[in-house]
Structure 1
Amino acid sequence: MKRRICVFTGTRAEYGLLYWLMKDIQASAELELQVIVSGMHLSPEFGETWKTIENDGFTIDAKVEMLLSSDSDVGVVKSMGLGVLGFADALDRLRPDALVVLGDRFEALAIVQCALVMKIPVAHLHGGEITEGAYDDAIRHAITKMSYLHFVAAEPYRHRVIQMGESADRVFNVGAIGLDHLMRSPRMTRHELSQSLAFDLSAPYLLVTYHPVTLAEEDPVQSFKALLAALDRFPEHKVILTYPNADNGGRAIIPLLEDYARQAPARIKAIPSLGFKRYLSAVALADAVVGNSSSGIIEVPAFGVPTINIGARQEGRLAAESVLNSKADALSIEAALRHALSTDFAAVCKRAVNPYGAGNAASSIVDVLKRFEARHNKPFHDLS
């Protein structure tokens, strides 16, 4: 009898990372893929990206509506409550042998709570990391303690998960799963990407994604305005702007982003979601990736492309030499961009070593899921 492996996804970015793992589970003779979709995927405001999942050949076994129109702290908490109600029903119906979740978002916390109480073992990806500028940091560690299997992206993160009381034989350093795309996913040419976006990319461009900072004292609106002011200092570069996620304060950024794009439609392209194929193609062809997404630190260095990481959101993550950290003010962002676009720094980026693995995470995870007898109960592992 096949083991039922249920993969949860609540955001476009997370799905892009999980794609090859889902494909490998789907192709396995020993595993049966189940898919639960929720959060931003079901929202027209964020591009209804559940359609992409189905177009990629996956069957969605459960859609759980949970996002309220409010992204205040109270609104996010209430969204989590709605999620818990829906996830309980979905998991009760599907009864998987294991639930796979990635990362540190509030949607993942909601479903993992349900799995814990319902005695469904959880396999967690990207545990042990640090992002001191977001409450995602605490959520990630909480999910670690509610999970049975751990697939981490680097050896320091494996040690940190073990330090949290998880037995070493259940913690696997497989590298960052997003890097599997480098080995397995075809990319678009500049012309193909330009046609797909209906946006002329014959000139150099910057790829920009800025998410609200949920924990540090960094006002998302002011920081985003500072980012836009810095971008204005590079008129020779076009800009692809992707929408923020559904964290607190994200909706306040969207009208600023849209207004900025309306003012210069020939130079600025605003888009709710690129999808992973267009996103990775856009990264590979960009002069630099700017913002505060984890992708700028984890995946982008593998392309030899510079990252300007703004503000406090990603503080504490391992980073390659190709990542430049900037304060969240216009002058600092401009200075970082000028350095990133220099000939000398281009050479640094080309030789930078990405600390997040070689791009074979999905197959490693599937091997473990096939052979490991996951349980919901576990002893606390004390360090000797």
Structure 2
Amino acid sequence: MSIKKICVVITARPSYSRIKTALTAIKKHPKLELQLVIAGSALLGRYGNAVEVIEKDGFTIAEKVFMVLEGENPTSMAKTTGLGVMELANVFYRLQPNAVVTIADRFETIATSIAAAYQNIPLIHIQGGEVTGNIDEKVRHANTKLADIHLVASQDAYARVIKMGERPETVFNTGCPSIDLALEIKRNSKLDFDPLKKYGGVGAEVNWKEEGYIVVMQHPVTTEYASARKDVEATLKAVHELNIPTFWFWPNVDAGSDGTSGGIRAFRENNQPENIHFFKNMEPNDFLKLLVNSQCLIGNSSVGIRECSYLAVPVVNIGTRQNRRQRGNNVTDVSYNKGKIKDAILERIANKNITSESIYGDGEAGVKMAETLANVILEFHKTITY
């Protein structure tokens, strides 16, 4: 029996939860061999080094690729991607995988796609066909056109990938592995750890046990990076004035993250908010437990659109980062306006009439992905069809 070597490249902290159960299923499958490559901001401590969590979960890392250039602006993003192409090309040459997996739409994921496609290595794209806006929109669809096999997360995405000219027999609606984790949490949602004791962080010792809490995760928007500091200040002021115990998570490495993180640091220094505690990262399951027991998630993270729709967690989605993305009844959209953010948070906390929706899968995505990879015919050439 021929074993397929499947090389999965994780380039950022959030991508791990988007692929974790698939990694487990690939690792266990008798027809597959997992080659795990960790790259980009997933290796950097200031963005919540994912390596410790990944290794703790029992995965062996085949290669580490340091490729992030300082700057957190569009030029450094372009250079980071270019460096990623060079480094990943060498990694794939050494590992000789039968297929490479690139995940979703982060700007540097196109480096994975180019390095694989140019070496005639079959490329598998996870979560193609979705709509988001900013540079992620372009990268996601560019990955789709470079990819040979598509493992999409929703029926809407499935239809869109085929409309883009991909052959139907190469497109599979497996759902998103992050929903697999959400299903685990739905079955056992008890918050069985103290976030402050387990993860440390900085800021106030918030009274979250008695009063309840909200969670904030706000990233910069790459096409609006110049306003990142002003945008996060609007959210900071709204959350501070509400005086609800808050767990706030650090932004990712996109252009504008220096503005977002600088705004957070300055606000913390100048105002010393007694209701906000800041974290860099959490293990995926712990983070979902924190969310499902919260009163509301605020910001612009895709977790509010995906996992929170399945877990029926109220979400206030701010700005354009998730523009036109398919969403559930748990989401309220607002602009970067302090008053509107405050009103939306209070309305969402008061309105408990939210139902769980399975837009992005049924909790079996990881197994479906591994089974598909084990049985699909791997090709590295294609002709567009319409």
Q: TM-score, normalised by structure 1?
A: 0.93
Q: Which position in structure 2 is the counterpart of 1:280? A: 288
Counterparts of 1:125-164 in structure 2, within 5 Å, are 125-132=126-133, 134-164=134-164
**What SS class does the counterpart of residue 241 from structure 2 fall into?**
coil
Q: Is 1:189 paired with 2:191?
A: yes
Deviation at 1:352, TM superposition (A): 4.3
| Aligned equivalents of 2:361, 2:198: Cα separation in 1 | 30
Give, as a single letter, the amino acid of the residue that structure 2 aligns with 1:339.
E
Deviation at 1:192, TM superposition (A): 3.8
Structure 1: tracts of 5 or more residues without a match? none
Q: Which position in structure 1 is the counterpart of 2:304? A: 296
| Aligned equivalents of 1:79, 1:180: Cα separation in 2 | 31
Q: Is 1:372 paired with 2:376?
A: yes
- 1:134-169 CA-to-partner distances (Å, cap 9, x unmatched) read 111000000000001111111111111001110111
| Aligned equivalents of 1:184, 1:321: Cα separation in 2 | 21
% identical equivalent positions: 29
Give, as a single letter, the amino acid of the residue that structure 1 aligns with 2:245.
K
Give, as a single letter, the amino acid of the residue that structure 1 aligns with 2:23.
M
**What SS class does the counterpart of residue 68 from structure 2 fall into?**
coil
| Conserved 8 A contact 2:328-2:357 | yes
Match of residue 253, structure 2, among 246, 250, 255: 246
| Aligned equivalents of 1:217, 1:86: Cα separation in 2 | 27
With 246-255 and 111-120 compared, the bigger mean Cα shift is at 246-255
**What SS class does the counterpart of residue 182 from structure 1 fall into?**
helix
Give, as a single letter, the amino acid of the residue that structure 1 aligns with 2:191.
T
| Aligned equivalents of 2:166, 2:241: Cα separation in 1 | 49
Deviation at 1:250, TM superposition (A): 0.5
Q: Which position in structure 1 is the counterpart of 2:222? A: 214
Give, as a single letter, the amino acid of the residue that structure 2 aligns with 1:362.
G
Q: Is 1:334 paired with 2:374?
A: no
Counterparts of 1:63-78 in structure 2, within 5 Å, are 63-78=64-79
Q: Which position in structure 2 is the counterpart of 1:95? A: 96
Counterparts of 1:1-384 in structure 2, within 5 Å, are 1-132=2-133, 134-184=134-184, 189=191, 191-198=193-200, 200-202=207-209, 203-216=211-224, 219-235=227-243, 237-261=244-268, 263-264=271-272, 266-342=274-350, 345-347=351-353, 349=354, 351-382=355-386
Give, as a single letter, the amino acid of the residue that structure 2 aligns with 1:366.
A
Deviation at 1:191, TM superposition (A): 4.5
| Aligned equivalents of 1:374, 1:248: Cα separation in 2 | 35
With 181-190 and 6-15 compared, the bigger mean Cα shift is at 181-190
Give, as a single letter, the amino acid of the residue that structure 2 aligns with 1:115.
A
Aligned residues: 376
Structure 2: tracts of 5 or more residues without a match? none
Give, as a single letter, the amino acid of the residue that structure 2 aligns with 1:371.
N
Structure 1 residues 266, 213: CA separation in 2 closer, same or farther (over 3 Å shift)? Answer: same
Deviation at 1:256, TM superposition (A): 2.4
Q: TM-score, normalised by structure 2?
A: 0.93
| Aligned equivalents of 2:19, 2:356: Cα separation in 1 | 25
Structure 1 residues 180, 305: CA separation in 2 closer, same or farther (over 3 Å shift)? Answer: same
Structure 1 residues 276, 12: CA separation in 2 closer, same or farther (over 3 Å shift)? Answer: same
Give, as a single letter, the amino acid of the residue that structure 2 aligns with 1:174.
T
| Aligned equivalents of 2:194, 2:302: Cα separation in 1 | 26
Deviation at 1:68, TM superposition (A): 1.2
Give, as a single letter, the amino acid of the residue that structure 2 aligns with 1:182.
A
| Aligned equivalents of 1:50, 1:195: Cα separation in 2 | 21
| Conserved 8 A contact 1:187-1:278 | no
Deviation at 1:48, TM superposition (A): 2.4
| Conserved 8 A contact 1:153-1:174 | yes
Give, as a single letter, the amino acid of the residue that structure 2 aligns with 1:274.
M
| Conserved 8 A contact 1:40-1:48 | yes
| Aligned equivalents of 1:188, 1:92: Cα separation in 2 | 45
Structure 1 residues 81, 328: CA separation in 2 closer, same or farther (over 3 Å shift)? Answer: same
Deviation at 1:339, TM superposition (A): 1.1
With 196-205 and 3-12 compared, the bigger mean Cα shift is at 196-205
Structure 1 residues 266, 233: CA separation in 2 closer, same or farther (over 3 Å shift)? Answer: closer
Q: Could you say what the CA RMSD is over the residues aligned between the two structures, in angstroms? A: 1.7
| Aligned equivalents of 1:284, 1:318: Cα separation in 2 | 20
- 1:307-352 CA-to-partner distances (Å, cap 9, x unmatched) read 111001101111101110011111111121121011xx212x1x24
With 252-261 and 116-125 compared, the bigger mean Cα shift is at 252-261
